[in-house]
């Protein structure tokens, strides 16, 4: 198997007058008039877009995929935000193909060279997320995820710390419990990545790294298990965001935390009804072993909060209920700070990558306590989209629902994004945080 890695930086270049095919952008209103004014042989290509006067990120993606190899220039306009779609339209995952595509690059000549670097960094970040999620679980377990973090850290000059074995059992007992049923070569671990100047504001990024989720003893049906290689999408997203922050030279002190596990089944798997200790010192009753994400994130968020960050951003594939509510295109957002939520929603709209804020409804919190009568998983699962940032008092953040804020008290601003696709266009403005 040969893996062909595309290089977004090679797919866009500054306009220096080089020869290139002209791309004329037309929309429904302008197409007829444009066509009537063309000679029989036209040495340019017409590209249909929704609005030729306001290009969005994905306007050129299909053209980049369909056009033949060569150089192209948008006639009379800058690609602007559409440069990102041009780069991502050429993304291919060829690692397992015997004969990868031999189609050559389609290079965009841009009249706005100042935006090229940002477009390339976003495309590289997106490609990293896609590559990690596309690799099947048999080839990407906790060890391989650790290796990916180390590769990025080496490139960025960051420091990596990995906790495993007995130290993980003692320091991060919920991460250890979820991952203990896996084979030794796929043992659980907590991966940390530190970068930046101590004088700058500290931010923490946490990503759920369940490299495969069988559901544990509360096993998933085959239909639910089929795509569980993507259950580490939160970790992939967090790692790519960390790289993007470093490459964008943002003035922050960055702390990335990834709990990496496989939720497998064996004789020593954790069980429904078990009561687990946590790094925070709280005891957690297990209602369903397929709710493993909040367990590993509980320990990871505790670790992230110990360093006193001003912001915590938490990415996770939690849960299917959010997808039922919002569909595949709107990531669910849980935030404990209204001003931060407004900024995020506005930023998502600005880059055509919207979020949808979900409620953190305080009256539901009392339903999280353990029942003294029959203990069943349904009660906990019905609460699956609620609680995380509820306990946040004082500092803000993007964070998960489901009681996780209890593990990072006192909370900074806590933000949680529930990921269902790997678009990567948020939190990327090059300005101080």
Residue among 220, 247, 421, 429 flagged as catalytic: 220
Q: What share of the chain is helix, strand, coil (3-state, %, to 5)?
A: 35, 20, 45
Spot the catalytic one: 106, 243, 294, 417: 294
pLDDT value of residue 386: 39
User: pLDDT of the chain along its 433 residues, tens only?
Assistant: 334 456 999 999 999 999 999 998 888 888 777 777 777 666 567 788 888 888 999 999 999 999 999 999 998 889 999 999 999 999 999 999 988 777 899 999 999 999 999 999 999 999 999 999 999 999 999 999 999 999 999 999 999 999 999 999 999 999 999 999 999 999 999 999 999 999 999 999 999 999 999 999 999 999 999 999 999 999 999 999 999 999 999 999 999 999 999 999 999 999 999 999 999 999 999 999 999 999 999 999 999 999 899 999 999 987 778 888 999 889 999 999 999 999 999 999 999 999 999 988 888 777 766 554 433 443 443 333 333 333 333 345 555 444 566 666 556 776 766 554 333 333 333 333 3
Q: Give the relative orientation of helices 142-156 and 116-134 as an angle to the nearest 10 degrees.
A: 160
The C-alpha atoms of residue 281 and residue 169 are separated, in whole angstroms, by: 13
* Structural domains in the chain plus CATH codes: 8-118 (3.40.220.10), 135-418 (3.40.630.10)
Cβ atoms of 160 and 191 closer than 8 Å: yes
For the CA atoms of 181, 185, 188, 190, what is the dihedral angle to 10 degrees? 180
C-alpha 261/C-alpha 289 separation (Å) is 13
156 backbone φψ class: left, alpha, beta (φ>0; ψ -120 to 50): alpha
Cα–Cα distance for residue pair 65/343, rounded to 1 Å: 33
Q: Structure tokens of 344?
A: 């995020």
Alpha-carbon distance of 28 to 51, in angstroms, equals: 8
Please provide residue 195's backbone torsions phi and psi, each rounded to the nearest 5 degrees. Answer: -155, 150
pLDDT of residue 44: 66
DSSP 245-313: HHHTT-S-EEEEEEEEEEE--STT---TT-EEE-TTS-EEE-S-TT--HHHHHHHHHHHHHHT--SEEE
Give the up-direction half-sphere exposure of residue 134: CA atoms within 13 A in the CB hemisphere: 15
- Tokens linked to 31: 């197409």
Q: How far apart are CA 404 and CA 334, in angstroms?
A: 11
How far apart CA 95 and CA 30 sit, in angstroms, is 42
> CA-to-CA distance for 50 and 52, rounded, in angstroms?
7
E runs forming strands in 49-105: 70-74
Distance CA 417, CA 400 (A): 7
Kindly give, in sequence order, each residue whose CB lies less than 8 Å from that of residue 323, ignoring residues fewer than 6 positions away: 420
Catalytic site residue 294?
yes
Taking a C-beta distance cutoff of 8 angstroms, is the pair 121, 83 a contact?
A: no
Strands 189-195 and 253-263: antiparallel
> Is the CB of residue 311 less than 8 Å from the CB of residue 336?
no
Handedness of CA 363, 364, 369, 375 (dihedral sign): positive
What is d(CA 341, CA 165) in angstroms, rounded to the nearest whole number? 38
Which pLDDT does position 410 carry in this prediction?
Answer: 59
């Amino acid at each position: 198997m040969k893996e062909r890695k595309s290089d977004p930086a090679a797919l866009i270049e500054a306009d220096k007058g080089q020869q290139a095919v002209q791309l004329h952008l037309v929309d429904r209103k302008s197409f007829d008039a444009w066509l009537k004014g063309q000679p029989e042989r036209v040495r340019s290509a017409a590209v249909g877009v929704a609005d030729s006067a306001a290009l969005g990120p994905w306007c050129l993606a299909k053209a980049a995929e369909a056009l033949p190899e060569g150089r192209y220039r948008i006639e009379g306009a800058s690609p602007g935000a559409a440069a990102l779609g041009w780069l991502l339209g050429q993304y291919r995952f060829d690692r397992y193909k015997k004969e990868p595509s031999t189609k050559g690059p389609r290079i965009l000549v841009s009249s706005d060279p100042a935006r090229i670097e940002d477009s390339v960094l976003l495309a590289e970040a997106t490609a990293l997320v896609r590559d990690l999620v596309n690799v099947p679980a048999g080839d990407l377990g906790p060890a391989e995820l650790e290796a990916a973090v180390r590769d990025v850290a080496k490139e960025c000059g960051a420091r990596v710390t990995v906790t495993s074995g007995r130290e993980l059992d003692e320091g991060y007992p919920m991460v250890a419990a979820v991952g203990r049923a896996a084979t030794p070569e796929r043992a659980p671990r907590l991966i940390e990545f530190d970068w930046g100047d101590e004088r700058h504001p500290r931010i923490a990024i946490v990503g759920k790294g369940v490299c495969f989720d069988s559901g544990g003893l509360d096993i998933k049906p085959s239909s639910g298990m089929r795509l569980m290689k993507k259950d580490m999408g939160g970790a992939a997203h967090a790692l790519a965001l960390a790289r993007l922050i470093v490459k964008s030279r943002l003035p922050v002190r960055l702390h990335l935390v990834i709990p990496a596990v496989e939720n497998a089944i064996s004789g020593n798997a954790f069980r429904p009804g078990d009561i687990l200790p946590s790094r925070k010192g709280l005891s957690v009753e297990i209602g369903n072993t397929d709710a493993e994400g909040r367990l590993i994130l509980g320990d990871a968020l505790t670790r992230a909060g110990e360093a006193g960050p001003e912001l915590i951003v938490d990415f996770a594939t939690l849960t299917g209920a959010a997808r039922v509510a919002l569909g595949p295109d709107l990531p669910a957002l849980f935030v404990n700070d209204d001003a931060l939520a407004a900024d995020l929603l506005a930023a998502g709209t600005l880059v055509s990558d919207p979020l949808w804020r979900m409620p953190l409804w305080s009256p539901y919190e009392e339903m999280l306590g353990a029942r003294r009568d029959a203990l069943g998983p349904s009660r906990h699962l019905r609460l699956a989209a609620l609680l995380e940032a509820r306990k946040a008092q004082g500092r803000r953040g993007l964070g998960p629902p489901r009681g996780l804020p209890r593990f990072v008290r006192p909370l900074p601003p806590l933000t949680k994004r529930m990921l269902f696709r790997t678009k990567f266009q948020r939190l990327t403005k090059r300005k101080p945080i």
